[in-house]
């Protein structure tokens, strides 16, 4: 290397690597794999930064719009009234904020150009779109426009500001007085109530996207490694240093990494200039939030691409001829991977993943770290086990004169790195499938039953809680609910079981005879009434009586009435009509909900989390599948070139197939079984504390699938060698 030095040598070595990347089929396969791996890694890194950007924007908007209650800031003068309530569309809850300015110059909430007039409502665009079928634009009063982006935590947030009419203003009190907006420690409302913690979501991104992307990157970098190892040996013979080898490696990886970085950055840049509706989640990513962090997003993607170039040097063998073995038989190496894998299992085991965990955020992050550490080190342990198996297999094959077992045993013992790359995609893929299934099944018994009730009854049973109303308001409400809808009251006297009361006309509407004034137990009724009794009174044996709707009463010192409106199943207009009538006649902030609405909200939140996990898991499984495909294809090429000359000595093709089954199929099959067992162990905290349900049939399917994959890979590898052997000719290699 003596004649060229400095820039000339640098260019020469980089050009050497660049030409190598455009070589034969093995190099083309590596370039394609490396480009895809870089694209996914850049996208994963950018997604992690976008997660921080979205969380920062949501927190900033939540703080800016938060009311400053005079009880919390006693030295400030009250300028408006503020009262929070809730409502639902399609079973999913949203915040309803009732406001009333007290001074002419009071600034409206962020996102509103002016205070709504009495009897008007301002909705978020997402709420208006979601509730269009229910007529939500007129539910709370006259439609006065839409909330702008600065008043929402995200474009998909469902929120409405309502100014009640003057007739309802006496319901305000001093605890609802605010001095303005902007609280650095806000009480959450809107989507901020049920938002997933940013740290937990970041852990999910790194686990479901980051780990598979890293696996795909390692597999891509080691595709066609034999040729590069021989080139390294040549550079060493010519006096090359570590720097010279690094320049060749970087030159070889430069254009596929650059192309992959460009592909992976395109969706990130698009998200900075267009609001992106995330599939499966009903979430819209704010382009403004991403644009504010665009330099950091691009820096994260560039850092990921640079990391791939660095890895191309670090993962490249410093010395060797491409055929020299590397083993994992040294005790220090075995202990290191065993300890790391055990540490991952320990980290994942004791965490509490229940909704009432003392520190849910720490538990999720700890659980994610444990899973990543376990799945990342398990392939090395499997490869070490295969080296031991290979040594035994070779010894027994010599005694039994079994050439296929001898060759496979020697290779298993000599090339554990190849085995680790071959099985890593299987292990990570099984881990991802297991976690997706567990998170999708995650729910409580009450939430699952509430979901079943809602799926069966929908909006046919609505529960309305409000302050006690005059008889004229109750009558107007009954008239506005429309024909065919029965209005009842659920009366709870102190120390007595709740009784469903209503006039005979209401009982007739549900096709039941009018009961006596004295309460009796309903023995035969339709499912709507039995479910009402189960959720509202704790027993399906509902007590009923014929009586008018009470207009006076007290509970806990606060007069309250609980109305029940029962409609025909499949009545699509019931939800909108009843809610609109309630907001018109039943006070300032009536709370209208479907049957088991509180538990249903938890079920729908679990479904939202499950949808996010499914989306991230699908991306991770795609990367794991690509890693498995590229690893198998790369090994087919090396396997064929190594084994083809044996056909001249063996005289038949049986040795090819037996070697392929031992060398390719057995490690993949073992990895499938080990991955399924470890995934089950990692899922234990989710089942015991997280409300998840284990699916043994899925475990059986994954084990069977990995076994079938192992057999197919072995047969395909053997058949490929047979074809290669028929055309093999001696060469100068």
- In the three-class reduction of DSSP (H, G, I as helix; E, B as strand; rest coil), residue 304 is classed as helix
Is 680 found in the same domain as 651?
A: yes
The reported pLDDT for the residue numbered 25 is 56
Q: Is the pLDDT of residue 204 over 90?
A: no
The reported pLDDT for the residue numbered 2 is 47
Is 725 found in the same domain as 610?
A: yes
Which of 83-92, 416-425, 671-680 reaches the highest mean pLDDT?
671-680
Q: Is residue 570 part of a domain?
A: yes
Is 209 found in the same domain as 156?
A: no
* pLDDT (mean) for 499-516: 89
Is 84 found in the same domain as 29?
A: no
The reported pLDDT for the residue numbered 126 is 93
Q: How many domains does the chain have?
A: 4
The reported pLDDT for the residue numbered 125 is 95
Residue-wise pLDDT tens digits, 301-350: 999 999 999 988 887 655 544 444 454 444 455 678 888 888 999 888 87
The residue with greater pLDDT, 421 or 492, is: 421
Q: Is residue 186 part of a domain?
A: no
Domain of residue 548: give its range: 468-586
Q: Is 728 exposed, middle or buried (0-12, 13-18, 19+ CB in 10 A)?
A: middle
CA atoms within 13 A on the CB side of 259: 11
Q: Is the pLDDT of residue 445 over 50?
A: yes
* Mode of pairing for the β-strands spanning 142-146 and 461-466: unpaired
Buried b (16+ CB within 10 A) or exposed e, 187-225: eebbbbeebeebbbbbbbbbbbbbbbbbbbbbbbbbbbb
Q: Is residue 452 part of a domain?
A: no
Residue with tokens 């192309």: 259
Is 304 found in the same domain as 268?
A: yes
Q: Is residue 190 part of a domain?
A: no
Q: Is the pLDDT of residue 701 over 50?
A: yes
Residue-wise pLDDT tens digits, 408-442: 888 888 888 888 888 998 999 999 999 888 888 87
Q: Is residue 420 part of a domain?
A: yes
Q: Is residue 591 part of a domain?
A: no
The residue with greater pLDDT, 649 or 243, is: 243
Q: Is the pLDDT of residue 3 over 80?
A: no
- In the three-class reduction of DSSP (H, G, I as helix; E, B as strand; rest coil), residue 461 is classed as strand
Residue-wise pLDDT tens digits, 598-648: 777 777 777 888 888 889 999 998 998 888 888 888 777 777 677 767 665
Is 513 found in the same domain as 400?
A: no
Is 258 found in the same domain as 152?
A: no
Is 428 found in the same domain as 341?
A: yes
Residue with tokens 């949501």: 58
Element of type H or E holding 122: strand 120-123
Q: Is residue 460 part of a domain?
A: no
* Averaged confidence pLDDT in the chain: 83
Q: Is the pLDDT of residue 556 over 60?
A: no
Domain limit, last residue, from 296, 317, 338: 317
The reported pLDDT for the residue numbered 321 is 43
Is 61 found in the same domain as 77?
A: no
Element of type H or E holding 499: strand 499-502
Q: Is residue 358 part of a domain?
A: yes
Percent of the chain scoring above 70 in pLDDT: 86
Domain limit, last residue, from 127, 149, 181: 181
Q: Which residues contact 11 (CB under 8 A, 6 or more apart)?
A: none
Domain limit, last residue, from 288, 317, 346: 317
Is 200 found in the same domain as 116?
A: no
- In the three-class reduction of DSSP (H, G, I as helix; E, B as strand; rest coil), residue 468 is classed as coil
Is 295 found in the same domain as 224?
A: yes
- Residue 317 is given by DSSP the state -
Is 103 found in the same domain as 53?
A: no
């Amino acid at each position: 290397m003596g004649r060229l030095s400095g820039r000339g040598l640098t260019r020469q070595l980089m050009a050497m690597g660049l030409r190598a990347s455009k070589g034969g089929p093995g190099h083309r396969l590596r370039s394609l794999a490396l480009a895809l791996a870089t694209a996914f890694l850049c996208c994963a890194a950018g997604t992690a930064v976008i997660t921080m950007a979205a969380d920062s924007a949501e927190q900033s908007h939540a703080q800016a719009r938060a009311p400053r209650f005079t009880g919390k800031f006693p030295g400030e003068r009250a300028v408006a009234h503020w009262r929070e309530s809730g409502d639902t569309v399609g079973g999913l809850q949203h915040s309803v904020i009732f406001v009333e300015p007290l001074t002419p110059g009071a600034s409206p909430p962020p996102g509103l150009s002016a205070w709504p007039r009495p009897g008007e409502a301002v909705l978020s665009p997402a709420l208006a779109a979601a509730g269009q079928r229910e007529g939500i634009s007129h539910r709370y009063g006259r439609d006065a426009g839409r909330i702008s982006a600065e008043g929402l935590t995200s474009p998909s947030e469902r929120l409405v500001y309502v100014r009640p009419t003057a007739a309802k203003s006496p319901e305000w009190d001093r605890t609802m007085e605010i001095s303005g907006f902007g609280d650095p420690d806000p009480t959450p409302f809107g989507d901020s109530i049920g938002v997933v913690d940013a740290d937990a979501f970041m852990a999910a991104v790194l686990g479901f996207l980051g780990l598979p992307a890293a696996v795909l990157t390692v597999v891509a970098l080691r595709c066609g490694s034999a040729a590069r190892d021989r080139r390294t040996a040549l550079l060493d013979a010519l006096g090359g240093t570590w720097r010279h080898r690094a320049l060749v490696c970087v030159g070889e990886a430069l254009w596929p990494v650059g192309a992959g970085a460009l592909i992976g950055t395109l969706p990130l840049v698009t998200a900075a200039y267009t609001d992106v509706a995330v599939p499966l989640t009903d979430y819209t990513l704010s382009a403004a939030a991403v644009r504010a962090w665009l330099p950091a997003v691009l820096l994260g993607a560039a850092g990921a691409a640079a990391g791939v170039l660095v890895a191309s040097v670090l993962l490249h063998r410093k010395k060797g001829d491409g055929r020299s073995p590397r083993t994992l038989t040294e005790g220090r190496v075995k202990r290191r991977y065993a300890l790391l894998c055990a540490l991952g299992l320990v980290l994942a085991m004791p965490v509490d993943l229940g909704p009432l965990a003392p520190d849910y955020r720490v538990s999720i992050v700890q659980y994610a770290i444990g899973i990543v550490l376990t799945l990342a080190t398990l392939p090395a342990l499997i490869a070490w086990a295969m080296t031991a198996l290979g040594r035994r297999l070779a010894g027994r094959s010599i005694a039994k004169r079994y050439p296929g077992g001898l060759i496979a045993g020697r290779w298993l013992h000599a090339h554990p790195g190849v085995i680790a790359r071959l099985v890593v995609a299987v292990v990570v893929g099984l881990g991802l499938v297991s976690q997706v299934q567990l998170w999708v099944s995650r729910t409580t018994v009450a939430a699952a039953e509430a979901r079943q009730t809602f799926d069966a009854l929908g909006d046919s049973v609505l529960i309305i809680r409000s302050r006690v109303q005059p008889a004229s308001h109750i009558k107007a409400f009954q008239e506005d609910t429309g024909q065919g809808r029965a209005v009842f009251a659920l009366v709870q006297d102190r120390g007595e079981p709740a009784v469903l009361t209503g006039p005979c006309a209401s009982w007739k509407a549900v096709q039941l005879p009018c009961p006596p004034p004295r309460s009796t137990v309903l023995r035969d009724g339709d499912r709507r009434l039995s479910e009402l009794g189960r959720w509202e009174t704790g027993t399906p044996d509902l007590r009923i009586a014929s009586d008018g709707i009470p207009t006076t009463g007290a509970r806990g010192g606060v007069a309250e009435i609980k109305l029940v409106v029962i409609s025909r199943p499949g009545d699509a207009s019931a939800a909108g009509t009843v809610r609109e009538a309630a907001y018109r006649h039943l006070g300032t902030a009536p709370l209208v909900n479907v049957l088991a609405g509180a538990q249903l909200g938890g079920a729908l939140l679990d479904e939202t989390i499950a949808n996010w996990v499914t989306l991230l898991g699908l991306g991770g499984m795609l990367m794991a599948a690509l890693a498995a495909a590229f690893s198998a294809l790369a090994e087919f090429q090396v396997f064929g070139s190594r084994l083809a000359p044996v056909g001249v000595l063996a005289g038949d093709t049986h040795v090819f197939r037996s070697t392929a089954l031992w060398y390719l199929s057995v490690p993949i099959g073992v990895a499938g079984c080990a991955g399924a067992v470890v995934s089950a162990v990692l899922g234990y905290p989710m089942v015991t504390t997280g409300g998840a349900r284990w699916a043994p049939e899925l475990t059986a399917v994954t084990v069977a699938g990995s076994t079938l994959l192992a057999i197919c890979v072995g047969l395909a590898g053997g058949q490929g060698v047979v074809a290669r052997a028929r055309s093999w000719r001696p060469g100068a290699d």
